[in-house]
């Protein structure tokens, strides 16, 4: 009598094996048939043009929440045919950036991704800062420029609220029109699951198939460029990891992850092509300076290499005897502006010319020519392939705008400061100190009209609410006035938070200001005061304030720091 666990006859096992093999083969053939098409290999164009550098922007390493070391990542970029990388580990500007250097033949530039109160801001080419950059976007944008950096808004329309950008009024330099992390976050779970199945077979093409045209971000960019220059970049946001991490500062030291997508694959999915005045000479510092300058000027295009490579575009405009390329300003001379777009896209590709975001003309590749009877506006080109994925389809190649405008367009307009019709001195005090239990502070003042100085020493260790504040009871002195004004000076460059406090509810409103060794006249309109924390009040009401504070805290000062600042000529104005 056969046992309960007897093996089936040999012939039956063979049949089961054949059926299983057939099912697996059918599944494999089905998956293979659904794979994204292999990317096209294109010929280089016959027409010449400026020297260009191919590279990637927005890359994280083991110094923050990426999984690779610098040399390892540079080697991956070299294998992908890139010539430069811009590393953007999370930070606050206080870590000394590494000097530009060549690794595996790739120019490596050290930048920083800074967290503000309303999104992330990437600083390229910025020197080490004397204090942590954080807080309101307006202050971070101002400081990045102050310390020599070029600033880019990162993943502005991410589906993750903590990563979105919320302040479109500040004068940032650039914006990510495409961000890999944002593009993959907006896919359905089903689509991402399918991508995981496809990835081992055609990794680059699979990542490219997840891209869509980011309509909202491009519309924002087009609105901005009608008033001023704003360049746009495609950001790889490369981490080479998928999995759990503790936070963006310590990455994966205590978490699990797998390296999907790898740096190699990210660098082959899309890239930047920067037009240079001259080819790289192999000297890292001047080569990096030239690259950053070209990016600042918008002499850069973005291409989806997962669809076709190499990508080339030549976008130029002329008006009278003047000419321009992408990123440039073209003075509007004789009432017309002629534009030409050339590309090495295949003949079934489509060139789209946009003016202020609206489609102005379309033409089959490889060339579009357009002459406008009224040429004013911000023009840029998008190029699509017949295989472009997404709903709506993602452009295979996108340029920065040419700004066809009068000669004085884009110049900074200085907003005149209303002459004060009423000044009311409130310097007299008496002044006192508020601080946390572990920090120390001391106030020095002479007669009521003399300057007052606060010296402080924040306690060390981790951030735990350390602060020191110079405090003045103002009664109802702010009532009926429009701004607070004073002269400030500090022993070293720093930021302090000028705060106003509600007497009964304890609500506080603030405006951060920069101080250094040079006495500065500072005027703070009450309309610029923002709540320190969520508050029931919709707007700042000076009539409800009875205390003014000049605060040093860990927003812009590291724990353990010591220093001093002086306030004089404190007054309210109307």
On the question of pLDDT at 402 being above 60, the answer is: yes
Lowest mean pLDDT among 52-66, 287-301, 414-428: 414-428
Q: What percentage of the chain reaches a pLDDT higher than 90?
A: 76
pLDDT of 32? 52
Helix (H) or strand (E) holding 239: none
Give me the CATH topology for the region 312-413. Immunoglobulin-like (2.60.40)
Architecture of domain 54-306: Alpha-Beta Barrel (3.20)
* Residues sharing a CB contact under 8 Å with residue 117, sequence separation 6 or more, in sequence order: 134, 135, 136, 137
Helix (H) or strand (E) holding 180: helix 180-185
On the question of pLDDT at 245 being above 70, the answer is: no
3-state DSSP call for residue 353?
strand
CA-based end-to-end distance of the chain = 106
Report the predicted TM-score, pTM, of the whole model to 2 decimal places.
0.92
| Cα–Cα–Cα angle for 481, 483, 487, rounded to 5 degrees | 130
Burial 241-275 (b: 16+ CB within 10 A, else e): beeebeebeebbeeeebeebbbbbbbbbbbbbbbb
Confidence of residue 7 (pLDDT cuts 50, 70, 90): low
Residue ranges of domains in the chain = 54-306, 312-413, 423-573
Confidence of residue 271 (pLDDT cuts 50, 70, 90): very high
Distances 19 to 12, 107, 203, 390, 451 between C-alpha atoms, Å: 11, 54, 30, 37, 91
Largest interatomic CA distance in the chain: 112
Burial 64-84 (b: 16+ CB within 10 A, else e): bbbbbebeebbbbbbebebbb
Tokens of 106: 């790739």
pLDDT of 448? 77
Contact of 325 with 49, CB cutoff 8 Å: no
The DSSP 8-state label assigned to residue 98 in this structure reads P
What is the C-alpha to C-alpha distance for residues 352 and 335, in angstroms, rounded to an integer? 23
pLDDT in tens, 80-136: 999 999 999 999 999 999 999 999 999 999 999 999 999 999 999 999 999 999 999
On the question of pLDDT at 492 being above 50, the answer is: yes
pLDDT in tens, 273-310: 999 999 999 999 999 999 999 999 999 999 999 999 99
On the question of pLDDT at 381 being above 50, the answer is: yes
Distances 440 to 469, 485, 496, 556, 561 between C-alpha atoms, Å: 10, 27, 16, 17, 11
Lowest mean pLDDT among 20-34, 122-136, 513-527: 20-34
Mean pLDDT within 54-71: 96
What is the C-alpha to C-alpha distance for residues 399 and 314, in angstroms, rounded to an integer? 9
Output the DSSP codes for 290-349. Answer: HHHHHHHTT-EEEE-TTTEES--EEEEEEETTEEEETT-EEE--SS-EEEEEEE---TT-
Confidence of residue 320 (pLDDT cuts 50, 70, 90): confident
Burial of 87 (0-12, 13-18, 19+ CB in 10 A): buried
Tokens of 202: 């055609």
What is the C-alpha to C-alpha distance for residues 127 and 129, in angstroms, rounded to an integer? 6
On the question of pLDDT at 73 being above 80, the answer is: yes
Mean pLDDT within 514-521: 97
Give me the CATH topology for the region 423-573. Jelly Rolls (2.60.120)
pLDDT of 375? 81
């Amino acid at each position: 009598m056969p046992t309960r666990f007897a093996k089936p006859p040999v012939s039956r096992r063979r049949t089961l094996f054949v059926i299983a093999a057939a099912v697996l083969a059918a599944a494999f053939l089905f998956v293979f048939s659904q794979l994204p098409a292999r990317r096209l290999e294109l010929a280089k164009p016959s027409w010449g043009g400026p020297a260009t550098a191919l590279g990637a922007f927005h890359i994280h390493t083991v110094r923050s929440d990426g999984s690779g070391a610098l040399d390892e990542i540079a080697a991956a970029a070299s294998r992908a045919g890139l010539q430069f990388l811009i590393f953007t580990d999370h930070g606050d500007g206080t870590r000394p950036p590494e000097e530009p250097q060549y690794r595996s033949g790739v120019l490596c530039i050290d930048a920083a991704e800074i967290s503000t109160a309303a999104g992330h801001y990437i600083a390229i080419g910025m020197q080490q800062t004397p204090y942590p950059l954080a807080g309101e976007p307006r202050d971070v944008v101002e400081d990045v420029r102050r310390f020599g950096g070029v600033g880019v808004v990162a993943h502005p329309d991410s589906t993750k609220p903590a990563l979105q950008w919320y302040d479109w009024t500040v004068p940032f330099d650039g914006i990510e029109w495409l961000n890999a992390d944002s593009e993959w976050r907006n896919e359905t779970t089903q689509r991402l699951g399918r991508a995981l199945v496809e990835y081992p077979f055609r990794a680059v093409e699979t990542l490219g198939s997840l891209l869509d045209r980011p309509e909202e971000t491009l519309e924002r960019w087009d609105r901005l460029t009608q008033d001023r220059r704003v360049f746009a970049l495609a950001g790889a946001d490369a981490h080479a990891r998928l999995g759990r991490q503790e936070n963006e500062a310590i990455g994966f030291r205590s978490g699990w992850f797998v390296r999907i997508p790898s740096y190699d694959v990210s660098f082959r999915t899309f890239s930047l092509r920067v037009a240079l005045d001259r080819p790289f000479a192999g000297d890292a510092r001047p080569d990096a300076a030239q690259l950053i300058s070209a990016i600042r000027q918008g002499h850069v295009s973005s291409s989806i290499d997962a669809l076709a490579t190499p990508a080339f575009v030549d976008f130029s405009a002329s008006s009278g005897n003047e000419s321009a390329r992408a990123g440039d300003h073209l003075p509007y001379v004789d009432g017309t502006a002629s534009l030409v777009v050339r590309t090495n896209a295949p003949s079934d590709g489509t060139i789209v010319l946009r003016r202020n975001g609206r489609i102005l003309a379309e033409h089959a590749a490889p060339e579009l020519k357009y002459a406008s009877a009224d040429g004013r506006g911000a023009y840029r080109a998008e190029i699509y392939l017949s295989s472009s994925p997404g709903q709506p389809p993602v452009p295979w190649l996108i340029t920065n705008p040419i700004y066809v405008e009068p000669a004085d367009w884009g110049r900074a307009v200085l907003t005149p400061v209303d002459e004060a019709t009423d000044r009311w001195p409130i310097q007299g005090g008496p002044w006192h100190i508020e601080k946390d239990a572990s920090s120390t502070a001391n106030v020095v003042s002479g007669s009521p009209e003399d300057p007052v100085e606060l010296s402080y020493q924040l306690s060390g260790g981790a951030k735990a609410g350390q602060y020191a504040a110079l405090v003045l009871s103002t009664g109802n002195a702010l009532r009926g006035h429009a701004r607070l004004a004073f002269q400030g000076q500090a022993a070293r460059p720093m930021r302090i938070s000028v705060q106003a406090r509600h007497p009964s509810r304890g609500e506080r409103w603030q405006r951060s200001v920069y101080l250094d060794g040079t006495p500065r006249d500072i005027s703070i309109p009450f309309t610029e005061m923002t709540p320190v924390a969520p508050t029931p009040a919709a707007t700042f009401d000076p009539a409800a304030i009875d205390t003014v504070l000049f605060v040093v805290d860990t927003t812009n000062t590291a724990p353990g720091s010591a220093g001093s600042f002086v306030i004089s000529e404190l007054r309210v104005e109307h």
